[in-house]
Amino acid sequence: MSIKKLLLITLLAVVCASAQTLTSPAPPRGNTWYTPMGYAPNATTTLTASTIYLDSAHLANTTGSAVTCAFLDKTTNCNGSACQFWPTISIAANTVYEVSFGGIVVSGVTWSCSTSNAVVAQLKGALTF
């Protein structure tokens, strides 16, 4: 084997090994977690303080006006503030959103909407062990 091939193989091994290093492994996936179906509050409210896999949300604006909603991770990993893992969205009047979060791991979840008794919502996911 030539020196060039040997160096190339060594370089590729180093690059591949460094690219696969995780900062922390994902926790094991546990039992199903979900919020009861109900109105999303208009004040920031904790849904869970536990670390969970967040899979999906059902959001139905039952009013004749647009409503904005926000979801935040309870950690302070985003410049000392809670991480907003989903942008604040405006849900049009009489509109239903089905959102997939793809099983992201969040360290607790808070939520709020701009108007009380407007958005019927449910979040689903799984607990971690």
Q: What is the pLDDT of residues 25-78, one digit of tens each?
A: 888 999 999 999 999 999 999 999 999 999 999 999 999 999 999 999 998 899
Please state, in angstroms and rounded to a whole number, the distance separating the CA atoms of residues 120 and 40: 6
pLDDT in tens, 79-97: 999 999 999 999 999 999 9
Question: Rounded to a whole number, what is the largest CA-CA distance in the chain?
Answer: 73
Helices (H) and strands (E) in the chain, counts: 1, 7
Backbone phi and psi for residue 40, each to the nearest 5 degrees, phi listed first: -70, 140
Domains and CATH numbers, the chain: 26-128 (2.60.120.340)
pLDDT at 24: 74
pLDDT at residue 14 tops 70: no
- Greater pLDDT, 125 or 25: 125
pLDDT at 6: 53
pLDDT at 108: 94
